[in-house]
Structure 1
């Protein structure tokens, strides 16, 4: 029986990415090398470089291959509950091994690798931001949020504390933290009741 070359190439790609993740967890991203990945995966360096132009590009694809959770927003009619459910899922995915430390290393890499930064933005950060803004817009249209609230700013306010906590403060991401963050944000997002003079 003939071996499908496309299937063989896909299997090889998966093996290389899985090996990349295994080695990154063992030695850390800084000590990860194309040579070590190639040796453990049983392929030549040229095989890797044909698919990925750099270690950063390989690492990006490998980390994003772990993201099997859709991270889509439900729409139950209660925007705060829906945000909580989606952010819980993100926290559970990004806040602990294996993806958490790997994603932290990837964010570190994008600070000095513009090509990988652009890919991460295009393939992960921007799609998630767009989903957040779309859910907030639906809530604003339903009267759950103040009509003049800046939705892009709200998305950044929702994301910023999570990145600060995991990347800067290196504190655990918990559901309790998400609840506190949402309560603080929604204090400013809810529609304002008109004040009446006495």
Structure 2
């Protein structure tokens, strides 16, 4: 027998209002300045309603992310058949995206959410799929002979993602040619 949830049934219109408000306030203020009280007031719901549906602010932000309400950038690397050029193009696009103050703040806030809640961090990685997309793309390049057999795919992927995150955390614009130099270093 299924366990019944206590409290009022979840209203889909209220849920959407909460998620849309959370995404808008998150983009405007960042994670640190996002409050359940502020979200409730803007969304027109009771604070208790939010806490009944989400255990924490980080869970609420995570659901916004998982539903595609937070990141307005395509995280899929292109596939022109030239792995080095594709990774350079992809990194350049991410660096340009994160160089914008509001976008860098968004990514820093997501890092905070993932650091605060281990399960959210795992869900974030799974839902964005960046690691999987890059690993798949690099694996295809290896099979096509564009990369040497034995290229440490996981380590290359971790380094690429780590480079983007360090760039965001340092809050400095990417130097011209940074993406190309990084790809050349990892995939000579």
Band of TM-score, shorter chain? 0.7 to 0.9
Work out whether 1:113 is the aligned partner of 2:117. yes
CA distance in 2, matches of 1:184, 1:35: 47
Q: Check 1:26–1:134 CA distance in 2 against 1; reply closer, same or farther (3 A cut).
A: closer
Alignment-derived partner of residue 144 in structure 2: 142
Gap runs ≥5 in structure 2: 1-9
Greater relative contact order structure (CA < 8 Å, 6+ sep): 2
RMSD (Å), alpha carbons:
2.5
Deviations 1:16-55 (A, max 9, x none): 2332244345554223221111012111123323432211
Q: Do the aligned partners of 1:162 and 1:173 also contact (CA within 8 Å) in 2? A: no
Deviations 1:158-195 (A, max 9, x none): 2222211211x2222466321221122222xxxxxxxx
Q: Check 1:24–1:75 CA distance in 2 against 1; reply closer, same or farther (3 A cut).
A: closer
Q: Do the aligned partners of 1:95 and 1:166 also contact (CA within 8 Å) in 2? A: yes
Gap runs ≥5 in structure 1: 1-7, 188-198
Alignment-derived partner of residue 190 in structure 1: none
Alignment-derived partner of residue 37 in structure 2: 35
Write the mapping of 1:149-164 to structure 2, written as runs, cut at 5 A: 149-164=151-166
Work out whether 1:73 is the aligned partner of 2:74. no
Tell me whether 102-111 or 64-73 shows the greater mean CA deviation.
64-73
Q: Deviation at 1:11?
A: 4.4
Query: Hey, which bits of structure 1, 4+ residues long, moved more than 6 A?
Result: none
Q: Deviation at 1:69?
A: 3.7
CA distance in 1, matches of 2:98, 2:19: 18
Q: Which has the larger radius of gyration?
A: 1
Between the two proteins, the alignment pairs up a number of residues equal to 177
CA distance in 2, matches of 1:15, 1:99: 22
If the length of structure 2 is used for normalisation, what is the TM-score?
0.79
CA distance in 1, matches of 2:33, 2:112: 14
Q: Check 1:57–1:156 CA distance in 2 against 1; reply closer, same or farther (3 A cut).
A: same
Q: Deviation at 1:73?
A: 2.8
